[in-house]
Structure 1
C-alpha cells in the first residue's frame, strides 16, 4: 500500500510503498483511511524526536495518530490508530471509534478532534468550568482558541493579534475582544476595566510569554489575587 513514511535523519515524510498493517488482537480492526490531520506531535512521534516515541528503523515509520476511516461495512468513523494512520489502510482501536454524521466532511472531521480536545480538556478537566463562569481566552484567533470560544460560551473575553479574526469571534460567542497589538498600557487598562465589570473566573492561555505576564499583572490586584482564578 502507499503511505507517508518517516525515515531516520529525514525532516519530511516520504510518499512510498509500505507493508499493510496486521491486526494483532480482537480489540483492533482494519480500516480504509479517508483523511488524516497531521499535527506537530505526529511528526515528532514518527521521527523519533518525541520523548515517548521510538526512532524509526530502516524501513521507516508511518505518520499520523488518528483520522477518518471506513469500516469493512462502509460505516464512516473517526478512529484512533494503533500505529501510523497516513496510509491507504490502518489498524485502529475498536473502543476508540466515533460514528460520523453525513453532514460532516472528511477533512473537517479529521481536523476538528485535536482542536476540540485541546479546548475541552482545559475548560472541563483543568478549570472545571461551570455554567456562569467568565472565561478569558488568550490567543483565541487560532483554531483551538476559536473552538474554546464556542465551548466556553457564557461570557467570553478573547485576545489575539489578528483584528479581523478577533472580530469574527464575536459571531462565534465572544463577548469582548482585546487586541494584543496595542500598547501594554492600553491592553492592561482594557482588560482591567473588563475584569472589574465582569470578574474573570478562568484563563485559557494558548500564547504564554509577554501577554501572559500582562494578564497576570491585571488579575493579581494589589499584591495578591483578588479572587480564585483557574489559569
Structure 2
C-alpha cells in the first residue's frame, strides 16, 4: 500500500472475484483478501488478485498462517502486501520477514516464470522484489502487545495490525471488541505504535467504530466486509419492505 494515511479499506470474505473487483471500484484505498477466515485457497486468491489489479484499489493478502510455503505461492502470484496472523514475538516476526526475502536475506524460493515477474518481463525482479513488498504482522493477544517494541524493531516489519477480535477474546471479552476495556487497550496500542514510528491498522465493524479508531491514531482502517455490507443492506431492505 503506497497511499498516505489515513487509508480506508474493506475486508473481502466472500471469495468472490466479482465482489472484490466491485469493491475495488467503490473507492476504497485497499481490499483485504482474507485467506485465514474465508474460503480462499491459493488458486482462488490468484483470481482475487487479478480482479483487484484492474481497479484503483490496492490488494492486501491476509495469510492463513506464518507459513513460508503459502507466502512463497502468494508472492509468486503477485501479492505485494502480505499480512501475517498471530505474531507473538520478535522471532516469529523475523520468520515472517524471511519468508518474503530471497537468499541470503531470507528463504523465499525463486521462480522466474510467475505473475510477480510479469511472466519474465520484469528485469532484475529478484534483486528489486524486496523494494515492492510490504510486511504487516498481526498482534492479537496481550502477550504480543507486551512484545510490541521487539516485534516492531525487527528489520523488514513495515506495519503493525492490531486484531480486535482475538484480542478481545484473549482479554476475556470474546465477541465484544467494542467493550470499554478493550477499547482502552486498542487506543493504547495505537499510541505505542506511534511512539515506535510504525504505521498501524485495524478492522472496524462499521463506519462509526472506524472513525473512533482513526481518532485513536490508527494509520489505516478496514471498515466491515463484503459479506457484512451485503447482509446489513439486505436485512435493512427486507425490513423496510415487510414493514410496508
Under a length normalisation based on structure 1, what TM-score does the superposition of the two structures give?
A: 0.29
Question: Whose helix fraction is larger, Structure 1's or Structure 2's?
Answer: 2
Under a length normalisation based on structure 2, what TM-score does the superposition of the two structures give?
A: 0.28
Question: Whose strand fraction is larger, Structure 1's or Structure 2's?
Answer: 1
